[in-house]
Amino acid sequence: MSVQQSLIELPLDLDRQRIPSHVAVIMDGNGRWAKSRGFPRIIGHQKGVDALKDLLRCCDDWGVKILTAYAFSTENWGRPAHEVEFLMTLFERVLRRELEEMMAENVKIRFIGDLKALPDSLQSEIAHAMGKTSQNKGIQFNIATNYGSRQEIIHACQSIASLVKEEKIQLDDINEELLENYLYTGGIANPDLLIRTSGEMRLSNFLLWQMAYGEIYVTQTLWPDFNRQEFHRALLDYQKRDRRFGKLN
């Protein structure tokens, strides 16, 4: 039995009662992974899809209810055109290829971000995947695509401002709960744990509001090498944390 296979069950040193409900990931280091092997960067992204698929399965196996992955940021448009094009095609191809399996595994897919700016064919594939999996009751898989937290907050403010302007709500009705409802993540609980690979210690405009009290775990491992052992390590670290949410114990 391979080490990967032996980690299908929840490892015994993890507390089943303290598995984070919602895990978010910044999948960084694909380019460096490829470059260090003499491959073009896009090979790193391709490998990154395999790592993400395995993490989704692992989350499902170990009792995580929601996985949110940062696939493409509002800033990523600034990459060379051929890389952006490759990523858009990759998202579309992966969605088409994996949809049946996701259905079989009861995964509920949701894309978060400003989807209107994505290529039309990708938008149709996204709408199809979200529609088809909308009644699934298994793990929720959120893919942040053309996502930027600042843009998300501005978008929410604009929606709320028009409600005030149309006198549908009063200024005093604006509170945290209302604002959260107008974020792309409306209706989804905030992440308990955010994992960032490849050593960078920043949020990079990802889930800024939602991560107010989320725990952050950074590993030096590059995303294509992130596997169940790495996730196990992240969860062990998470379970040692004392989450006080600004209060005293």
Residue 109 DSSP label = E
Rounded CA-CA distance 26/29 in Å is 9
| Distances from the Cα of 210 to the Cα of 52, 68, 183, angstroms | 21, 12, 9
> What is the smallest separation between the CB atom of 237 and ligand FPP, expressed in angstroms?
22
Whole-angstrom distance, CA of residue 215 vs CA of residue 196: 11
Query: Which residue among 19, 20, 29, 140 contacts ligand FPP (CB under 6 A)?
Result: 29
Strand, coil or helix: what is 217?
A: strand
| CA 203 to mean position of chain CA atoms | 12
Q: Is 194 in the site for ligand FPP (CB under 6 A)?
A: no
214 in contact with ligand FPP (CB under 6 A): no
Exactly one of 54, 61, 76, 114 is catalytic; which is it?
76
Q: Which is nearer to ligand FPP, 146 or 210 (CB)?
A: 146
Per-residue x/- track, 73-112, ligand FPP (CB under 6 A): ---x--------------x--x------------------
Of residues 150, 56, 156, the one with CA closest to residue 101: 56
- For 107, the token pair is 């995964």
Nearer to ligand FPP, 122 or 156 (CB): 122
- Judged by phi (left if over 0) then psi (alpha if -120 to 50, else beta), residue 146 lies in left
Indicate which single residue of 56, 71, 107, 139 sits in contact with ligand FPP (rule: CB under 6 A). Answer: 71
- 30 binding ligand FPP? (CB under 6 A): yes
Query: Looking at the chain, which runs of residues are DSSP E strands?
Result: 22-26, 66-73, 108-112, 140-147, 193-196, 215-218
Q: Which of 52, 58, 109, 129 binds ligand FPP (CB under 6 A)?
A: 52
Query: CA-to-CA distance for 158 and 177, rounded, in angstroms?
Result: 16
Catalytic site residue 76? yes
Let me know if 37 is exposed, middle or buried by CB neighbors in 10 A (0-12, 13-18, 19+).
exposed
Region near ligand FPP per CB under 6 A, out of 6-14, 24-32, 122-130, 163-171: 24-32
Q: Verify binding: residue 148, ligand FPP, rule CB under 6 A.
A: no
**Residue range at the interface with ligand FPP (CB under 6 A); choices 26-34, 161-169, 203-211, 239-247:** 26-34
Q: Does the footprint of ligand FPP cover residue 31 (CB under 6 A)?
A: yes
Contact range with ligand FPP by CB under 6 A, out of 11-19, 48-56, 57-65, 240-248: 48-56
Under the binding rule (CB under 6 A), the answer on residue 129 touching ligand FPP is no
Residue 233 near residue 219, CB atoms below 8 Å: yes
Question: Candidates 9-17, 68-76, 103-111, 238-246 — which segment interacts with ligand FPP by CB under 6 A?
Answer: 68-76
Per CB under 6 A, residues contacting ligand FPP are 27-32, 45, 48-49, 52, 69, 71, 76, 91, 94, 143
Q: Which residues are catalytic?
A: 28, 76
